[in-house]
Amino acid sequence: MSEDYASKSSIEEIRERFDGDVERFSHLDTGQVSISDAALMMELITLAACRTVPEAKRILDIGCGAGNNTLKILSFMPDRDCELLDLSGNMLARAKERVRGATKGMIRTHQGDFRTVPLKESGYDIILAAAVLHHLRNDKDWENAFEKLFRITAPGGSVWISDLISHESPEVRALMYKRHGDFLESIGGSEYREKVFSWIEKEDSPRPLTYQTELLRRAGFSQVEILHKNGNFAAFGAVKGCKGK
């Protein structure tokens, strides 16, 4: 896929925006109002994680924001060790504060870009990545990120993603963006629609669901699952086989 990424926001610009937007993401039920199925996708990826790795001890939340997905999985699977990773120091501080009240396990935070933050190889039984991978840019960036996801997943562990996606067909892409725009306008008017679309245009470079599931296979995951797709958003994941399987 050929695209000019020079006009996209830098990592620092993305960090600054989220540093100033902590309150909006600090509510379990309303943190993602711009996504019609946000609550459903959060429930699906966390339940899938619990069902595929019921004995999980170590959870990593990439792009954790204010901690909603970690809190959700802890409601099903309490008192696990949790590692929280985000660009925004303000988001991390809020996430740690909220998660501290939901687990007796260890809590560790990492501030920085997932692509460059050192993380333990085969170190995590469950990895969550919600609304974060759409900030990846070119093909090599995507390939490296998915290969890293595989390396840091423990044997028998799983990775679960919910995110903005694109589409292979330009006609389908236009249709889905129209539907998303209509939804945004229904909850906040045309000004809100244009605000969200301007964020997407400036910050994001999503890829099709098919592209991402293929990357999971190529990285080495043995099972790939699509949990939900509606318009421009999808929830999906993969399980890493145990050694010898």
User: Residue 147: is it exposed, middle or buried by C-beta count within 10 angstroms (0-12/13-18/19+)?
Assistant: middle
Other CB atoms within a 10 A radius of the CB of residue 211 amount to: 16
Cα 81 from Cα 93, distance rounded (Å): 17
Strand bridging mode 107-111 / 223-230 = unpaired
pTM of the model: 0.93
Place of tokens 């792009």: 63
Q: What is the pLDDT along the chain (245 residues), one digit of tens a residue?
A: 446 788 888 888 888 888 777 766 666 664 567 788 999 999 999 999 999 999 999 999 999 999 999 999 999 999 999 999 999 999 999 999 999 999 999 999 999 999 999 999 999 999 999 999 999 999 999 999 999 999 999 999 999 999 999 999 999 999 999 999 999 999 999 999 999 999 899 999 999 999 999 999 999 999 999 999 999 999 999 999 986 45
Level-2 CATH architecture, domain 11-239: 3-Layer(aba) Sandwich (3.40)
Place of tokens 């292979």: 168
Q: Which residues pair with 224 in a beta bridge?
A: 238
- Domain boundaries in the chain? 11-239
Cα 4 from Cα 192, distance rounded (Å): 26
